[in-house]
Amino acid sequence: DSGVTQTPKHLITATGQRVTLRCSPRSGDLSVYWYQQSLDQGLQFLIQYYNGEERAKGNILERFSAQQFPDLHSELNLSSLELGDSALYFCASSVAAGQNPNEQFFGPGTRLTVL
Protein backbone atom coordinates (compact mmCIF):
# COMPACT_ATOMS: atom_id res chain seq x y z
CA ASP A 1 0.00 0.00 0.00
CA SER A 2 1.60 3.25 -1.20
CA GLY A 3 -0.57 5.50 0.95
CA VAL A 4 -2.09 7.17 -2.12
CA THR A 5 -5.82 6.59 -2.49
CA GLN A 6 -7.96 6.92 -5.59
CA THR A 7 -11.71 6.76 -6.05
CA PRO A 8 -13.60 5.25 -7.69
CA LYS A 9 -11.81 2.03 -8.62
CA HIS A 10 -13.95 1.52 -11.68
CA LEU A 11 -16.09 3.87 -13.71
CA ILE A 12 -18.27 3.03 -16.67
CA THR A 13 -19.89 5.81 -18.62
CA ALA A 14 -21.08 6.79 -22.08
CA THR A 15 -19.55 8.92 -24.80
CA GLY A 16 -20.13 12.62 -24.36
CA GLN A 17 -20.38 12.39 -20.59
CA ARG A 18 -18.24 14.03 -17.91
CA VAL A 19 -16.56 12.27 -14.97
CA THR A 20 -14.42 13.25 -11.98
CA LEU A 21 -11.62 11.13 -10.60
CA ARG A 22 -10.38 11.77 -7.09
CA CYS A 23 -6.96 11.32 -5.51
CA SER A 24 -5.66 11.75 -1.97
CA PRO A 25 -1.85 11.92 -1.74
CA ARG A 26 0.31 10.36 0.95
CA SER A 27 0.30 12.25 4.21
CA GLY A 28 2.77 15.14 3.92
CA ASP A 29 3.18 14.97 0.14
CA LEU A 30 2.65 18.28 -1.61
CA SER A 31 2.87 17.19 -5.24
CA VAL A 32 0.23 15.26 -7.13
CA TYR A 33 0.71 13.85 -10.62
CA TRP A 34 -1.87 12.36 -12.98
CA TYR A 35 -1.02 9.70 -15.55
CA GLN A 36 -3.02 7.86 -18.19
CA GLN A 37 -2.24 4.26 -19.12
CA SER A 38 -3.78 2.98 -22.33
CA LEU A 39 -2.93 0.09 -24.61
CA ASP A 40 -1.90 2.25 -27.55
CA GLN A 41 -0.24 5.19 -25.77
CA GLY A 42 1.31 3.42 -22.80
CA LEU A 43 1.87 5.42 -19.60
CA GLN A 44 1.66 9.14 -20.21
CA PHE A 45 2.08 12.04 -17.84
CA LEU A 46 -0.90 14.37 -17.89
CA ILE A 47 -0.45 17.10 -15.31
CA GLN A 48 1.18 17.96 -11.99
CA TYR A 49 0.04 20.11 -9.08
CA TYR A 50 2.20 21.32 -6.25
CA ASN A 51 0.60 22.74 -3.11
CA GLY A 52 -2.49 23.83 -4.99
CA GLU A 53 -0.80 25.30 -8.03
CA GLU A 54 -0.38 23.79 -11.47
CA ARG A 55 3.30 22.90 -11.82
CA ALA A 56 3.72 21.06 -15.13
CA LYS A 57 1.65 19.89 -18.06
CA GLY A 58 2.19 16.83 -20.17
CA ASN A 59 0.00 15.32 -22.85
CA ILE A 60 -3.27 16.49 -21.37
CA LEU A 61 -6.18 17.10 -23.71
CA GLU A 62 -8.10 20.35 -23.54
CA ARG A 63 -11.20 18.33 -22.58
CA PHE A 64 -9.38 17.31 -19.40
CA SER A 65 -8.68 19.51 -16.41
CA ALA A 66 -7.47 19.07 -12.87
CA GLN A 67 -7.19 20.93 -9.62
CA GLN A 68 -5.67 20.49 -6.19
CA PHE A 69 -7.58 21.61 -3.15
CA PRO A 70 -6.33 23.20 0.11
CA ASP A 71 -6.36 19.80 1.83
CA LEU A 72 -4.06 18.65 -1.04
CA HIS A 73 -6.44 16.13 -2.55
CA SER A 74 -6.77 16.41 -6.30
CA GLU A 75 -9.47 15.84 -8.88
CA LEU A 76 -9.13 15.07 -12.57
CA ASN A 77 -12.12 16.10 -14.65
CA LEU A 78 -12.70 14.43 -18.01
CA SER A 79 -15.41 15.86 -20.25
CA SER A 80 -16.96 15.12 -23.65
CA LEU A 81 -15.69 11.61 -23.23
CA GLU A 82 -14.71 9.56 -26.27
CA LEU A 83 -14.14 5.83 -26.67
CA GLY A 84 -10.41 6.47 -26.81
CA ASP A 85 -10.43 7.93 -23.30
CA SER A 86 -10.97 4.45 -21.89
CA ALA A 87 -7.85 3.82 -19.83
CA LEU A 88 -6.38 3.35 -16.39
CA TYR A 89 -5.81 6.70 -14.71
CA PHE A 90 -3.15 6.85 -12.03
CA CYS A 91 -2.48 9.46 -9.45
CA ALA A 92 0.97 9.68 -7.87
CA SER A 93 2.36 11.86 -5.12
CA SER A 94 5.77 13.01 -3.97
CA VAL A 95 7.20 15.08 -1.17
CA ALA A 96 7.97 18.26 -3.03
CA ALA A 97 8.74 19.40 -6.52
CA GLY A 98 12.44 19.86 -7.16
CA GLN A 99 13.55 17.92 -4.11
CA ASN A 100 15.55 14.75 -4.47
CA PRO A 101 14.99 11.99 -5.16
CA ASN A 102 11.92 12.89 -7.18
CA GLU A 103 10.36 9.63 -6.14
CA GLN A 104 6.69 9.22 -6.93
CA PHE A 105 4.31 6.87 -5.17
CA PHE A 106 1.37 5.61 -7.20
CA GLY A 107 -2.21 5.02 -6.22
CA PRO A 108 -4.13 1.91 -7.32
CA GLY A 109 -5.65 3.67 -10.31
CA THR A 110 -9.16 4.28 -11.63
CA ARG A 111 -10.28 2.12 -14.54
CA LEU A 112 -12.42 4.24 -16.87
CA THR A 113 -14.52 2.53 -19.52
CA VAL A 114 -16.33 4.68 -22.06
CA LEU A 115 -19.09 2.89 -23.96
Partner 1 sequence: AQTVTQSQPEMSVQEAETVTLSCTYDTSENNYYLFWYKQPPSRQMILVIRQEAYKQQNATENRFSVNFQKAAKSFSLKISDSQLGDTAMYFCALGEGGADGLTFGKGTHLIIQP
Q: Which residues bind partner 1 (CB under 8 A)?
A: 2, 31, 33, 35, 42-48, 55-56, 58, 88, 90, 92, 94, 96-106, 108-109, 111
Q: Euclidean distance between the first and final Cα of the chain, in Å?
A: 31
Distance CA 114, CA 83 (A): 5
Q: What's the closest the beta carbon of residue 79 comes to partner 1, in angstroms?
A: 21
CA 1 to chain centre: 17
Q: What's the closest the beta carbon of residue 10 comes to partner 1, in angstroms?
A: 11
Q: What's the closest the beta carbon of residue 106 comes to partner 1, in angstroms?
A: 4
